Homo-oligomer: A and B are copies of this chain.
Amino acid sequence: MQPARKTQETAPRQRFLDVAADLFARNGYHATSLRDIARALGVTPGAVYAHFASKARVLLAVYETGVGQIGDAVDGAMQGSTDPWSTLERACHRHLEAILSDSGYARVVIRVLPEDVPEVAGQLARLRAGYEARFRTLIDALDLAPGTSRTLLRFTLLGALNWSQVWYRPGLTAPADIAREVVRNLRNGAAPHGEEHE
């Protein structure tokens, strides 16, 4: 018989990742030291190296989990086919919830830019791109006015959503409401309906 999966194999590693995700999300990568992470766990700085080869690898592991979390959330919004705009709105809702949540994992993916950490920049960028591909799919499914650039629409949407990390404070408009209005504006415009300029 195969030995049962080792119990709690990843438990201590997990604890490191949890606090690293939180600190990276809250203070950024460069402003967070390994000593900060160790201190938050009541542990010595050297302990990190029993689980990770370097600080950059810690970030990479956080990124992987973060992309997984937010990717799963958006995937959940994509299945169960209603019309493409509603699907997009649901995906935006999930995306916002993730990047504004208490969990640091997803927040790190938006807050820390790949080029901030050259040692793993390529891998971070690939993870990010893999996630964002979902929005390419979502937008490809839309019926758009002729001449509309889907690429620019994607960037516009992601920018509008991700920038919320800069201004959002809990207690303001809920993520669901933000998603609804952003998508509505991008779909039908904020100008009064019926008005068209020549």
Confirm or deny: A30 has a beta carbon within 8 angstroms of a beta carbon on chain B: yes
Confirm or deny: A40 has a beta carbon within 8 angstroms of a beta carbon on chain B: no
B187 touches A153 (CB 8 A): no
Confirm or deny: A161 has a beta carbon within 8 angstroms of a beta carbon on chain B: yes
Given A182-B152, A185-B186, A188-B191, check contact A166 B28 (CB 8 Å): no
With an 8 Å Cβ cutoff, the count of chain A residues facing the other chain is 44
Q: How far is the CB of A128 from chain B (nearest CB, A)?
A: 10
A173 touches B185 (CB 8 A): no
Q: Which of A41-49, A59-67, A72-80, A143-151 contacts B (4 or more CB under 8 A)?
A: A143-151
**Oligomer: number of copies:** 2
Q: Which residues of chain A from 85 to 114 have any CB-CB distance to chain B below 8 Å in the complex?
A: 85, 113
Confirm or deny: A193 has a beta carbon within 8 angstroms of a beta carbon on chain B: yes
Contact with B along A128-172 (1 / 0, CB 8 A): 000000000000001111101100110111111111101100000
Given A142-B190, A196-B193, check contact A159 B164 (CB 8 Å): yes
A163 touches B155 (CB 8 A): yes
Q: How far is the CB of A106 from chain B (nearest CB, A)?
A: 17
A156 touches B143 (CB 8 A): no
Complex: A189 Cα to B185 Cα, angstroms: 6
Confirm or deny: A119 has a beta carbon within 8 angstroms of a beta carbon on chain B: no
Least CB separation from A132: chain B residue: B167
Confirm or deny: A31 has a beta carbon within 8 angstroms of a beta carbon on chain B: yes
Q: Which residue, A83, A152, A181, has most C-beta atoms of chain B within 10 A? A: A152
Least CB separation from A143: chain B residue: B192
Given A153-B185, A163-B163, 6 other A-B residues pairs in contact with their CB atoms under 8 A: A30-B31, A31-B116, A148-B185, A148-B190, A149-B181, A160-B160
